[in-house]
Amino acid sequence: MTHPGHMGRRADLLLRTSLIGLLIAVLAGMAIWFVGSRSAYSTGVGWVVEQPVPFSHQHHVAGLGIDCRFCHTSVTLAATPGMPATDTCMTCHSQIWTNAALLAPVRASLANGTPIRWNKLNDLPDYVYFNHAIHIAKGVGCSSCHGAVDRMPLMTKAQSFTMQFCISCHRNPGPQLRPQDAIFDTEWHQPADPQRAQQLVDLYHLGGRNLTDCSVCHR
């Protein structure tokens, strides 16, 4: 016959083991979520998004020296950088690679009068307000967010654009700033000089507003 005290201790041990197992399961689940949400699979960083035309920034920017604004015409004027119209592509491709199979969608777009539907690579949530023009005007270069585009045979996402990524820059924008003549220079890097960084902060008048205020990005 089992002594009641033994049964009580066994039940207590079972309860303790179950609680410890539950705690471990919860902590493991949180760890998996934390790591998974920041993985390349979740953020898309480094992944190529399939496009209707395999456009190479490496070839066009580094190879041919085409300026960002030739294709992204509204990047200095509006919230969105704008995507090139088919006529922009055909500025060159009516003369070169005229029968290339990979450019068939471009020729069809021109013939049918329908724009090419590019797939978004960087897509912020609807509750986040971002304006390309103000960042360009305040000295933030394209490569600070989009990476070394001139080295990308196919465009990939360079940053996860988490809230932490944005706030870290808004708290200390100096290291990410550059002169206006270097905004579109994908090879330019700011010297590691705190004094120079502060000079750029003063140049762009960034000291008069709290850039981490919620209303800056959430409107």
Q: Tell me the whole-structure pTM to 2 decimals.
A: 0.78
Handedness of CA 59, 64, 65, 71 (dihedral sign): negative
**Confidence grade of residue 41 (pLDDT, cut at 50, 70, 90):** low
Into how many domains does the chain fold? 2
User: Could you tell me if residue 102 is inside a domain?
Assistant: no
| 136, 171: one domain | yes
Mean pLDDT of the chain: 88
Q: What pLDDT, in 10s, does the model give residues 54-65?
A: 999 999 999 999
Show the domain range for 62: 57-83+118-217
Structure tokens that stand for 155 in this block = 């465009």
**What residue ranges in the chain does DSSP mark as E strands?**
none
Asked if residue 148 and residue 188 are part of one domain, the reply reads yes
Does 52 fall in a domain? no
Residue 107 in any domain: the answer is: no
142, 198: one domain:
yes
Q: Would residue 88 count as lying in a domain? A: no
